[in-house]
A = this chain, B = another copy of it.
């Protein structure tokens, strides 16, 4: 069984790889390569898998989930320029894919021993675009 909690943060990013030339960055990322950055209201959906406790009927304590999410993701990411202020985006280009992978990396350890394990991170960059990451492409970066 799964439970999913949404959260939002407003951040800016630039899709710009330092080892590529300006022309290459422009070609790969288009307008998103503007090094000044642009921004989004990101929405993250964190999905946890588990079995409801027979007494409380809950898979997990949602207050704890919210605290972890605020401490490790919303707090550090909200109102920030990801490339300049949030590790590892000084050296990893903050595409939607890479931001989702980083959110997984930050959250997953907190759900290894508890009643629920992290099952999926969905990250919406706009209303028309989202990525899903479930840990399976872990070695891609």
Interface residues of A (CB under 8 A from B): 1-8, 10-13, 15, 17, 19-20, 28-32, 34, 36-41, 51-52, 54-59, 61-63, 78-81, 84-85, 92-98, 100-101, 126-134, 136-137, 140-141
B97 contacts A57, C-beta separation under 8 Å? yes
The count of identical subunits is: 6
Contact B59 A97 (CB under 8 A): yes
Question: Can you list 29 A-B pairs with a CB-CB distance of less than 8 A?
Answer: A1-B97, A1-B137, A2-B132, A3-B97, A4-B129, A4-B131, A4-B132, A5-B128, A6-B129, A7-B128, A8-B126, A10-B39, A12-B36, A17-B57, A29-B56, A31-B79, A34-B79, A37-B37, A37-B39, A38-B78, A39-B40, A40-B40, A41-B41, A51-B140, A52-B101, A57-B92, A57-B141, A58-B95, A59-B131
